[in-house]
Structure 1
């Protein structure tokens, strides 16, 4: 086996997504760019001709987008024709106080998966209240068990900076997992502990589900391969993305164990 390091194109980004049973269910968890990553992926899949649905199991901000938005009590009751648009966002309601859309229960989404003719369903399955980092509470995240892939997002912009309750959502849980105290500078080994820990970034990920760790807004000034590569070799994650989702290309480096040619 070899380590592949490359700037990915859409066909290799998710490690042969065409091999998954349709619809491909991709859940996003963590903090520091989930919604932006979700809408970027939606556009990426749409350009391949896939029919894509965006939704959430929590609350999420809705960025400016040409994507049609449907608000309904139960999406499984909508006519199938509503899902023939290349891209559609579906939510249960609008929370005016938070300026966020409300999502559906995991069971409602599982029912939708079984009934609608879709290629990809993208789900924001975790909330972070705008923070760049978080650890999940006991009731989080809310990941459908039908998920084919879970993308765990962490904000790399905090690396090297002091962290604490002001910068990290669910600070007590984060501190317990990473071993950091308020005021300590964030380092990559602490993020690795967040990724590794059963109550950490990928908590609740279904067995056999592909795990992708996206270090968003990651600086390439230093080489961290000596820490990242063992995570792949140990099977802690299947793929590591590095990049900045608000830039082009959003993912500038993809680390994965690849079979030799």
Structure 2
């Protein structure tokens, strides 16, 4: 199924993508789905992203002034896909507005979908947030936490896990490899990968890269997803860690979502 269907999207809201394992790809894929239905969208970040090709947007608004950003977005209602940022760095990265600034821009443009990348992972499939991370606007109705399925079995080091040095202090684990129990601990810890998300934001995990890892990974992550959802419902865990639903998918596939575990679950499509 499409990402839009999996997230049960109807009216325009602000959605933030954090974690690792395909945030930017997922953001622009959802943007394509909404754009195909001729819905107005704004593509942006509260950190920085590699400047996308011109074919990915209809208009780029680059300004460091919040009021000017609000004005330009409102004055371009006829543009379906707007890319917004503060400036473009010498590394060709688009730097975004701070979460509180993004809230101001969104409040004046609620008729448009806001798709926001709120985290950086240096291309890694698993990201452990530092104190100042992630950067999620308070108006984020849905926050999607990405984890790459290819991280299973990988060694815990800087090549595979962004901010890998934070795992041991967080979980008290000294293991060398990523397994499903470690991912469970990182999701369920209040300072883990669900931290920094507004209390009233719906939290959705997306395990990406499922198809390329095969049925074994699907079974492992399906089991982990069941455990995570049941733990959230049946045991007293920190409210910050409760997950609404978990998506299993391959964002670059024609039908990017394979299965949903959680509220109003769908049948497996794999």
Query: TM-score normalised to the size of structure 2?
Result: 0.84
**Deviation at residue 215 of structure 1 after TM alignment:** 1.0
Q: For residue 246 of structure 1, what is the aligned residue in structure 2?
A: 252
Match of 2:81 among 59, 84, 87: 87
- For residues 192-223 of structure 1, the C-alpha deviation after alignment (integer angstroms, 9 at most, x for no partner) is 11111111112111112111101111234222
> Which of the pair has the greater relative contact order for Cα pairs under 8 Å at 6+ separation?
1
Q: For residue 238 of structure 2, what is the aligned residue in structure 1?
A: none
Report the RMSD for the aligned CA atoms in angstroms: 2.1
Q: For residue 201 of structure 1, what is the aligned residue in structure 2?
A: 193
Q: For residue 152 of structure 1, what is the aligned residue in structure 2?
A: 145
When the two structures are aligned, how many residues end up with a matched partner? 247
Seen in structure 2, the aligned counterparts of structure 1 residues 177 and 258 have a Cα distance that, compared at 3 Å, is same
- For residues 105-149 of structure 1, the C-alpha deviation after alignment (integer angstroms, 9 at most, x for no partner) is 112111111112533100001111222211100011111111100
Q: Does the 8 Å CA contact 2:100/2:138 hold for their aligned counterparts?
A: no
**Structure 1: tracts of 5 or more residues without a match:** 1-7
Q: Hey, which of these two has a bigger chunk of helix by percent? A: 2
Q: For residue 51 of structure 1, what is the aligned residue in structure 2?
A: 40
Q: For residue 227 of structure 1, what is the aligned residue in structure 2?
A: 224
1:1-261 to 2 correspondences below 5 Å: 8-9=1-2, 12-14=5-7, 16-18=8-10, 23-66=12-55, 67=57, 68-73=59-64, 74=66, 75-78=69-72, 80-96=74-90, 98-181=91-174, 184-218=176-210, 219-222=213-216, 223-224=219-220, 225-235=222-232, 236-258=242-264
**Structure 2: tracts of 5 or more residues without a match:** 233-241
For 1:258, what is the secondary structure of its paired residue? coil
For 1:247, what is the secondary structure of its paired residue? coil
